[in-house]
Structure formats: C-alpha cells, structure tokens
C-alpha cells in the first residue's frame, strides 16, 4: 500500500482522476501514551506526535492536498506567509511537485531549523519587516498574480487534509478521546479537527465529539481575549499571531464541543517543554507544549477532572528550534580528555 494522506484517506478527500498523487509519506503518526505525565495529572494522556511528519510538523497533512490541487488546477507557483512550519512544508511539496515556492516570513522571528528547511527545499525566501499578520496580507496580494496559488489555510484544501489527524486518532482509539487539546495560532488546526470529528460523527464512525481545548500564549491570545492583538509576542514563534484567519470557525469549534480556550505564559510553555522531554521522552517545539502547560495549569487550579482520556497534539518537532530548548537548561560540562577528569564528574 502506498503511504501518505492522499492514499490513506483519499476516499474522504476531494480527489479527482487528475489530482497528482503526491506523497512524502505524511500522516500515520504515533499516538503515544504518556505514562509519567498521566500519573502526575491523574488522567489518561496521549500525545499525537505530529512532529514526526516528513517536514517535522502537522502542516504536511494539509499541504500535500493543497499543492496537489494547485497543480491540478494549473498553478505555476505557490506562495504563503508563515511563522515557519507552513513555509517548510510548502517548500517540500512544491519541490516534489516541481513548481516554484515563494515564502514570506516575519524577519528575525522564525526558528532557525524552519528557515533552513525552506531554503534547502529550494523556496524563494522573503523576510518581511513586519509580523506574520502583515506577511499574510502580502501573500494574499501576491496570489492575485496569474498562475499563483496561495497555500495558507485560507486555501480550503489545507484544513481538509488536516482533518486526517482527527480520523487517525478515532481509528486508533476506536472512540474519540474525552478532550483534545492543541495549540492555537491562526486557528486553522482546531477548526480542522472539529470538522474531522464532525464528519466522523455524521457518517456514524463515532458517537460524540471530544471537547476541544485550544491553548494560546498570553502575549498572542486573541481567541482568549475575543479581540485581535496588534503586536503579538511569545517565545513560541509558531503561534505569534494576532489576527487568526480562522477565528470564527475556531470559536464555533469550541462552542459546539463544549470546550474552551485558555492562555499560558512563556515560562509555563518552556517549563512544560522541559517536563515533556524529561519525564516522557518526547521533544516538541515550544508552541506544541502550550497544551501541556494548559493541562498543568488546569490541574493546579483544580479544574482538571481526573480519569479523563485526553489527546494532546504535538504539532511540531523540538529539533526545529534548538535555541528555545537550550535557553533554560544547564549547558554541557566541559572537561579535559582524561580519565581523571571523567571520574571526577561521574563521582561528584
């Protein structure tokens, strides 16, 4: 069997005989039980480890479909704005499709690993003096040019492909979890999960929708505040977004599932990142650790019912942003290359 979202879930996607069947073997990521954190939180916690996708983030699920449909519909190039992961993914799928890719990034605010990816895959990388929200406005203008397709989540195929993550979780567990928690930036992914669960409910595969708990960084929390944020700021650069494109869909997703939005501080995000890695062995980028920070906060405040089955989406790989990860952990111990020096450390 061929691997990848267009193969595994093609029957639920708008494919035609003319859609190029692109694949980097995206999707089918692990749903890992987190034993130590489950015990600490008093819940049954699973991580949907989407940082193991081919470009290291969940974006590949929707990008494969968006680029395939762009090619099918005659696009000669793709364009996107990005806080990093969308650009890495767009660049990779444009490369396999054989078309140029233009990416607009907020200058100086993209994790180095993501920048390296966009460049090595061969995208034309533009660093915009301005934040993500401005870069997206420019990408929309660029996409008005003949032959250009925008592959941000304003492109409906992106969220359609991202529904596959909800389907994988239900297929694996047999039933949906009680809660699904994930980071919220442009608010596309939470909307895609909701649509994915709703689709499964309508076709009888599941009976109820999980509560969707969307977590933002305090300095970039328009969904929590209920209003746009003009100068978003957070260490979790992936979700440094003040005007989410899918705000209305995300609001509805939380309402119809009985879920909620909450905000966590940068310190709480970095603490959660460290704890996830050191207690359960998973390394996720800062944005992806906002949900764990949220669960730990709810637990502290007595708002986390015990015994729930919770799926937490680790949206991006920790290796993308080593600067954030190393900012608050002890550095290496430098020693002379001698047995004595080694023994001194081992016995101290």
Which of these segments, 13-21, 76-84, 121-129, 301-309, binds ligand AN7 (CB under 6 A)?
Answer: 76-84
- Shortest CB 139 distance to ligand AN7, Å: 10
With CA atoms as reference, report the closest residue to 272 among 86, 47, 55. Answer: 47
- Shortest CB 238 distance to ligand AN7, Å: 3
- Shortest CB 147 distance to ligand AN7, Å: 22
Tokens of 27: 């999707």
Question: Which secondary structure element, helix H or strand E, spans residue 45, and what is its range?
Answer: strand 44-49
239 touches ligand AN7 by CB under 6 A: yes
Residues 285, 292, 304, 318: which binds ligand AN7 (CB under 6 A)?
Answer: 285
d(C-alpha 224, C-alpha 191), whole Å:
15
**Three-class DSSP category at 315:** coil
Look up tokens 């190393």; give the residue: 326
Q: Contacts with ligand AN7: how many residues (CB under 6 A)?
A: 20
- Shortest CB 18 distance to ligand AN7, Å: 28
Site string for ligand AN7, 110-139 (x = CB under 6 A): ------------------------------
Tokens of 240: 């440094």
82 touches ligand AN7 by CB under 6 A: yes
The residues with which 106 forms a beta bridge, in sequence order, are 128
Site for ligand AN7 in 43-72 (CB under 6 A): 57
With CA atoms as reference, report the closest residue to 75 among 49, 56, 101. Answer: 101
Nearer residue to ligand AN7 within complex by CB, 209 or 287: 287
Residues 53, 131, 257, 288: which binds ligand AN7 (CB under 6 A)?
Answer: 288
Which of these segments, 39-47, 80-88, 199-207, 275-283, binds ligand AN7 (CB under 6 A)?
Answer: 80-88
Sheet harboring 101-106: ordered strands across?
A: 124-128, 101-106, 77-81, 148-150
Strands 44-49 and 31-33: antiparallel
Which of these segments, 11-19, 84-92, 200-208, 294-302, binds ligand AN7 (CB under 6 A)?
Answer: 84-92
316 touches ligand AN7 by CB under 6 A: yes
With CA atoms as reference, report the closest residue to 329 among 277, 263, 280. Answer: 277
287 touches ligand AN7 by CB under 6 A: yes
- Shortest CB 83 distance to ligand AN7, Å: 4
- Shortest CB 248 distance to ligand AN7, Å: 13
Instruction: Work out the end-to-end distance of the chain between its first and last CA atoms, rounded to an integer number of angstroms.
Output: 54
Residues 170, 238, 262, 324: which binds ligand AN7 (CB under 6 A)?
Answer: 238
Strands 179-183 and 309-314: parallel
- Number of residue whose CB is nearest ligand AN7: 316
Question: Which residues, 6+ apart, have CB-to-CB distance to 182 below 8 Å?
Answer: 189, 190, 193, 212, 213, 214, 215, 291, 312, 313, 315
d(C-alpha 35, C-alpha 221), whole Å:
30
Sheet harboring 260-264: ordered strands across?
A: 31-33, 44-49, 309-314, 179-183, 211-217, 260-264
Site for ligand AN7 in 182-201 (CB under 6 A): 183-189
- Shortest CB 14 distance to ligand AN7, Å: 20
Q: Give the binding site for ligand AN7 (CB under 6 A).
A: 57, 82-86, 183-189, 238-239, 285, 287-288, 315-316
């Amino acid at each position: 069997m061929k691997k990848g979202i267009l193969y595994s879930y093609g029957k639920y996607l708008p494919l035609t005989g003319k859609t190029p069947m692109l694949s980097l073997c995206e999707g089918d990521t692990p749903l890992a039980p987190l034993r130590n954190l489950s015990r600490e939180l008093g819940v049954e916690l699973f991580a949907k480890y989407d940082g193991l996708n081919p470009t290291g983030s969940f974006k590949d699920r929707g990008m494969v479909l968006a680029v395939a449909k762009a090619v099918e519909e005659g696009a000669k190039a793709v364009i996107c704005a990005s806080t990093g992961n969308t650009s890495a993914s767009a660049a990779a799928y444009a490369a396999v499709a054989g078309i140029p890719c233009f990416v607009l990034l907020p200058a100086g605010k993209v994790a180095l690993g993501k920048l390296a990816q966009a460049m090595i895959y061969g995208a034309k990388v533009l660093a915009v003096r301005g934040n993500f929200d401005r870069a997206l406005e420019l990408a929309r203008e660029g996409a008005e040019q003949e032959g250009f397709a925008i592959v941000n989540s304003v492109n409906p195929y992106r969220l359609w492909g991202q529904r596959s993550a909800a389907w994988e979780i239900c297929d694996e567990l047999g039933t949906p979890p009680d809660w699904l928690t994930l980071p919220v930036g442009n608010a596309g992914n939470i909307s895609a999960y909701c649509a994915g669960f709703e689709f499964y409910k309508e076709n009888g595969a599941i009976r109820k929708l999980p509560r969707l708990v969307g977590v933002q960084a305090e300095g970039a929390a328009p969904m929590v505040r209920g209003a746009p944020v003009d100068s978003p700021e957070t260490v979790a650069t992936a979700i440094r977004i003040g005007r989410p494109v899918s705000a209305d869909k995300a609001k509805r997703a939380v309402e119809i599932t009985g879920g909620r939005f909450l905000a966590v501080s940068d310190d709480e995000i970095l603490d959660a990142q460290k704890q996830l890695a050191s207690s359960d062995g998973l390394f996720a980028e800062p944005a992806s650790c906002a949900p764990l920070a949220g669960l730990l906060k709810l637990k502290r405040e007595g708002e986390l019912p015990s015994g729930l089955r919770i799926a937490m989406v680790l949206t991006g790989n920790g290796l993308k942003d080593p600067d954030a990860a190393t900012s608050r952990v002890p550095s290496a111990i430098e020693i002379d290359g001698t047995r004595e020096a080694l023994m001194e450390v081992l016995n101290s």
